[in-house]
A and B are shown apart, each in its own frame.
Chain A
Amino acid sequence: MIKFLLMVNRQGQTRLSRYYQPVELTKRAALEADVVRFCLSRNKEQCSFVEYKDFRLIYRQYAALYIVVGVTDAENELSIYELVHNFVEVLDKYFSRVVSIMFNLDRVHIILDEIIQNGHIVETNKSRILAPLTALDKMADG
């Protein structure tokens, strides 16, 4: 099961965070700092899966952006690793013309909500992931 998904930059600043299990706001900052320190300290030749306390982290780097997913022990790490990539491909598809993904925090969240719910993967079909958001955009335009 997926516990959380983070998007952080190279300075370790959180760009986006989504928790699928309740974590207190005050504890999140410490957890994120810890998690980011773990992932940033690793080089490209090292394994993309890290054990952290009683769960595992899966991270993937895109230029200076890191996407980190925390999962329980029973999860299939490689499938999550690829899920992250699927997510990035969807973002790429949607934001193809316009650039700044991070400045559209709400839309990224809406896309993520279509992919993961309650810590489970609920949709991976790219056009279906984007359908609700494009409909909203059309409504706003029209």
Chain B
Amino acid sequence: MSYVGEKTLTALPSLLSLDSQPGPAKLSSTSKLGNLIRGITELTSKHEEEKLIQRELESIKEQVSSPNTSMRQMKELMVRAIYCESLGYEASFVYIHAIKLAQQGTALEKRVGYLAVSLFLNESHELLLLLVNTVLKDLQSTNLIEVCMALTVVSQIFPKEMIPAILPLVEEKLNHPKEIIRRKAVLALYKFYLIAPNQVQHIHNKFRKALCDKDPGVMTASLHIYLQMIQENPEGYKDLTGSFVNILKQVVGGKLPIDFNYHSVPAPWLQIHLLRILSFLGKNDLRTSELIYEVLDESLRRAEMNRNITYAILYECVKCIYTIHPKSNLLEKAAKCIGNFVLSPDINLKYLGLKALTYVIQQDPKMALQHQMTIIECLDHPDLIIKRETLELLFRITNAQNVVVIVEKMLEFLQNSPDDYTTIDLVGKVAELAEKYAPDNEWFIETMNTVFSLGGDTMQPDIPNSFLKLLSEGFDSVEEDRKLRLFAVDSYVSLLQGETRKLPQCFLQVISWVLGEYSHLSEDHNRSTVLRLLEKLLDMKQTSSETKCWILMAMTKLCEGTAGVCVAQQVSETYISSMDTVLRQRAQELQHLSQDSELREEVLPRDSGLDPMEIDSSLSFLDEFVSGALAAGAAPYKPPHQRQEELAEAKVLSLEPYGLALPISMSSCSITDRHSPTPLSMSSGLSGDSTDVSHRAGLKLDGVQRVWGRDGYLAKKESVEEAAPVQGLTPVHSPSLQNEGDGSHSQTPTPTPTPEPDREKEQLASSLFFGVSSQSSVCLMGKPDSTFNRRRKAKVQAPGVTEQLSSSVAPVSNAVDNLLCNNLQDSNINSVSAASSKQTCELSPRVPAANGTCNTDCGLPESDRKRSNLSISRDNGLVDADSALSEDQGSRSDLCPSSYLPAELCGLYRSEIAPLCTAHSLELSACHVHQGDDMILIIFISNSSDSQVLQIRLDLKSEQLKVTCVSDSSVENIKSHTVAVYQYSLAVKRPGVDVEVDGTLSFLLPAGTPQTKHFSYKLPLTAFIRPLLISTEEYGTMWLGFSHEVKQNLTLVDDGCEPLTFTLNLLKNRLQLHLVEIIGLEGILACRLLQNQPCLMHCRVHAGALAVWLRSPVPELPDCLVYHCQRVLQEK
């Protein structure tokens, strides 16, 4: 590719050459600055440079303070000082002179004064206040150049608190006849908007005027403000879409004066700017997007493919097309465009193409398939940057089928990773993938071993934490748990038997914990072997004292029998006199516990790993002690933040919990309990929980549910082998691959690889892109029964269904699996399930369920699907009783469940009646009713047949809820054409964003055959939230007592005048909270989860957003509530 512009370089020998002709007005190498620069260039050592600059600064200092220095000389000195600072040597003594120069100089001197101020000072520098008067004077000057300079400096740096002093003058300049003044005034207002948005709120209409300015420069400047505002609140500016589209049309159509062109492309950066604005406006909005399609099409068409800058515009177009509501013909064109990028021999374009592809596959994973060969080539690219970008792309398309290959590639890159930052980033990603998609125990443990050894002590601490959590919490299958732990133990023992000096500390900690906890599982290694290995670690001089604590703890769990006690005695004697207090305490514990095995069993019970220990984070067991101490006259304890607040004497609502996340140091307290680090990190309510919410909220773009994690991992032995992705099959018969080979490849001349490596690459491709395929490429791997259905272990799976599935899953598993591995949209789901058997029907509903719609249907016939897909959890799921009634009566004539609603519950607030499932002639539906502080679940079973249904049994259970039956007598038989009503009272056991009840219905058919049917009913947590009526004082005391905190920024909904009040009232009404008080920019709310679990909320308006802190004694509650707040505000 040739760049026209590059030619100008030949005209620039000047840039570096030192011997030059002195020009009339400008400085040359003979000037003092010239001498300085020349001197610096000739130097060879940093030390000499330092000496030279110090000398220079001395001389500048002397001259600036001399009264005889003219402004002209001052300007010259200033430039030298600027140069010295840019080399990293502070010249703070000239700062005041810079302000003076701006004040007293003329023309260029003044400009250099302002320039120096903007370079030297930061926004909060106190000297900046001295500039205000000068700026004021210059803004009123009749000399346009001075006005210009003042506006320039204002838009670069200005003290926030002085904005009101100059705002009227700047506003006035918006009407100035000269375009440059108007333009600079708009930019100054943009700066004000950035640093103090409230101050310019009243002039929003003037921004609109600037947008319509006849001068393109002024209009361009106003776009900065609009981009910012639209990014913050796209809803508020939808009406401007047409204007932006029009402007872009005119620019693309070449309506701007020719001097706006760059390399004959009209105002390219303006085009990019407009495209960004349009993508914010069109995002998730079909109607707005429809206005944008045409201009996007035109942009794509007009762009000639021969200049860098057009590629930059195209890249932005592609991003826009994939951000706004999708339109098929544009998507096609964008895809073609990306093809041109990635296939380009120009490396910069290739990079940008990969970046675009990474963005695009989040919306459409099929794109990766189209470009798989290019991606493979990029993976082996000599340039690390390209490789890295490719890995980023692969990370986004990882699934259970290709995880092994992708992780291998990532680890390969990590081995020669150049810098810490990349290492930390990649290690985190590998750990995430391993947890999600590990195909088997061995692979998982080995991968994590590599992660720990490579990541070392720089990696994120939550990686070892969640790993240990996984091991300790276990999964549903006891046998699998045992195998995983056993494998870990074996793997660590053999690691410790080798060279241990290079293992990072955090890995050693993980090893010690696992060995302490689970080495009893291993029959090959007796405890004394393990103890000896641990002892060896203790003696190593690289071992940190934190790690030693972990090791001592592990030993405490292990020492048994005479040999063990002997080792323990030795070790504890060594460390009992350690300088480190924690270490000393561990040694004490080891000594005591090793001697008293009964006590040890009690303190560290074996095999309790499955039930998480309750941690009383409020330390209520100390209450007696505390009250005793208080009675004895001790000062009450104040947490650190409270002490700080008292110091700061905050007057309004002194509850602000900035950065007060209680510092629970892992090293000091986690080891004392057997379930060390993880449960504690949970209870601190910071890291663990919030990431979980993001998973639940579906922020992750992978369609596949976590295989590892809370729910554990269910391996299916016979499929493990087959699941290994590298198979001998070549995927050449894939239609999309052939397209790639025949079509695009031949159009663009790329070096054709020789057949041999080609084959290799294709094999690699087949393993990398397995599972990324769409329906059209179902046969990519050629072998339909090779799929490994990891979704079998869905959360709501009822016993019995599993067997039924695994026996008949083979013929349809491929289709299902493809479905599950993809982020395919509903249309595909329907077509697949229509073609497949009943088993698919039972599985496929879970796909939409993962997207947050409905999963009440479990095994519905196709015809009933549509109705049951009505989301029952949308909003609060609540409707007015009367309106729902009439609606229901209208839609269903004979057996309308709502008319069977128990009399005492009529007229109460209740959810819509949602169908659950049908079984033969029985139809199940349910709703929930708010009865005071009780939540009642009502299940209707209607029998629409002509015969009676006998021996009906309804069993409900839930992990999250306590379900109690409140019906007086359980109905056993249902006559024909009647409805039976069951009532249950619900109470929350473990909060989640949504809570779910699983049910089983069993009955006898007239023929006498027993039948069972499973269903589930989901309701949002908000159904259990009630206002908590307390006063501000009570709030204050409660706040301090709660330890589980979540902090989050939410959008502030603006109604025009009082955004805070409006937003809080919105939350109050929608979520049933109690608004305790609003003071200034802050507000507090309180609610309780039924029955009586409080949650407090503290909101504060900060930088246009609503900063929210939630606290509660219940660990999961703040997280869940913040999720619902987010939803309420987003819907608004």
Stretch at the interface among B308-316, B584-592, B727-735, B833-841: B308-316
| Bound complex: CA A136 to CA B146 (Å) | 10
Q: Mark A1-26, 1 if CB is under 8 A from B, else 0.
A: 00000000101011111100010011
| Bound complex: CA A62 to CA B13 (Å) | 9
B5 near A: Cβ within 8 Å?
A: yes
Return the chain B residue nearest A28 by Cβ.
B88
* Residues of chain B from 1060 to 1099 with CB closer than 8 A to chain A in the complex: none
Which residues of chain A come closer than 8 Å to B21, judged between CB atoms? 98-99
Given contacts A13-B87, A98-B21, A105-B79, contact A136 B111 (CB under 8 A): yes
Stretch at the interface among B206-214, B265-273, B674-682: B265-273
B148 near A: Cβ within 8 Å?
A: yes
Asked if B180 and A25 sit within 8 Å, CB to CB, the answer is: no
Asked if B385 and A104 sit within 8 Å, CB to CB, the answer is: no
| Bound complex: CA A104 to CA B79 (Å) | 9
Q: Mark B454-488, 1 if CB is under 8 A from A, else 0.
A: 00000000000000000000000000000000000
| Bound complex: CA A118 to CA B154 (Å) | 11
Given contacts A13-B41, A109-B119, contact A103 B352 (CB under 8 A): no
| Bound complex: CA A105 to CA B187 (Å) | 24
B34 near A: Cβ within 8 Å?
A: yes
Q: Mark A63-82, 1 if CB is under 8 A from B, else 0.
A: 11100000000001111011
Given contacts A29-B88, A47-B348, contact A63 B9 (CB under 8 A): yes
* Residues of chain B from 273 to 305 with CB closer than 8 A to chain A in the complex: 273
Q: Mark A23-41, 1 if CB is under 8 A from B, else 0.
A: 0011011001000000000
| Bound complex: CA A118 to CA B106 (Å) | 26
Asked if B123 and A22 sit within 8 Å, CB to CB, the answer is: yes
| Bound complex: CA A32 to CA B388 (Å) | 23
Given contacts A25-B85, A103-B37, A110-B115, contact A79 B312 (CB under 8 A): yes
Which residues of chain B come closer than 8 Å to A11, judged between CB atoms? 41
Asked if A98 and B20 sit within 8 Å, CB to CB, the answer is: yes
Which residues of chain B come closer than 8 Å to A82, judged between CB atoms? 262, 268, 308-309, 312
Minimum CB–CB distance from A105 to chain B (whole Å) comes to 5
Which residues of chain A come closer than 8 Å to B701, judged between CB atoms? none
Chain B interface helix/strand/loop/mixed = helix
Asked if A47 and B308 sit within 8 Å, CB to CB, the answer is: no
Which residues of chain B come closer than 8 Å to A101, judged between CB atoms? 12, 14-15
- Interface residue tally on A, bucketed by range: 35 or more
Asked if A124 and B115 sit within 8 Å, CB to CB, the answer is: no
Minimum CB–CB distance from B345 to chain A (whole Å) comes to 11
Which residues of chain B come closer than 8 Å to A85, judged between CB atoms? 3, 5
Asked if A50 and B385 sit within 8 Å, CB to CB, the answer is: yes
Asked if A123 and B217 sit within 8 Å, CB to CB, the answer is: yes
Return the chain B residue nearest A53 by Cβ.
B421
Q: Mark B14-34, 1 if CB is under 8 A from A, else 0.
A: 111110111111111101011
| Bound complex: CA A135 to CA B145 (Å) | 7
Which residues of chain A come closer than 8 Å to B268, judged between CB atoms? 79, 82, 124
Asked if A121 and B16 sit within 8 Å, CB to CB, the answer is: no
B90 near A: Cβ within 8 Å?
A: yes
Choice from A29, A97, A105, A110 contacting B83 with Cβ under 8 Å:
A105
Minimum CB–CB distance from A57 to chain B (whole Å) comes to 10
Minimum CB–CB distance from B386 to chain A (whole Å) comes to 6
Choice from A9, A106, A135 contacting B112 with Cβ under 8 Å:
A106
* Residues of chain B from 332 to 367 with CB closer than 8 A to chain A in the complex: 347-352, 355
Which residues of chain A come closer than 8 Å to B697, judged between CB atoms? none
Minimum CB–CB distance from B359 to chain A (whole Å) comes to 10
Of B16, B148, B180, B311, most buried by chain A (CB within 10 Å of CB) is B16
B194 near A: Cβ within 8 Å?
A: yes
Return the chain B residue nearest A20 by Cβ.
B156
Q: What are 27 A-B interface contacts by the 8 Å CB criterion?
A: A9-B41, A13-B41, A17-B86, A22-B122, A32-B88, A46-B383, A49-B385, A51-B385, A52-B421, A77-B351, A78-B308, A78-B315, A79-B309, A88-B8, A89-B8, A98-B20, A99-B20, A99-B21, A105-B82, A107-B26, A113-B115, A117-B155, A117-B156, A123-B217, A124-B270, A137-B108, A139-B108
Which A-B residue pairs are the 6 nearest by beta carbons?
A: A98-B23, A29-B88, A99-B20, A99-B14, A78-B312, A79-B312
Known: A77-B351, A102-B16. 10 other contacts (CB 8 A): A13-B87, A29-B88, A45-B383, A62-B12, A78-B312, A99-B17, A103-B33, A103-B34, A105-B83, A114-B152
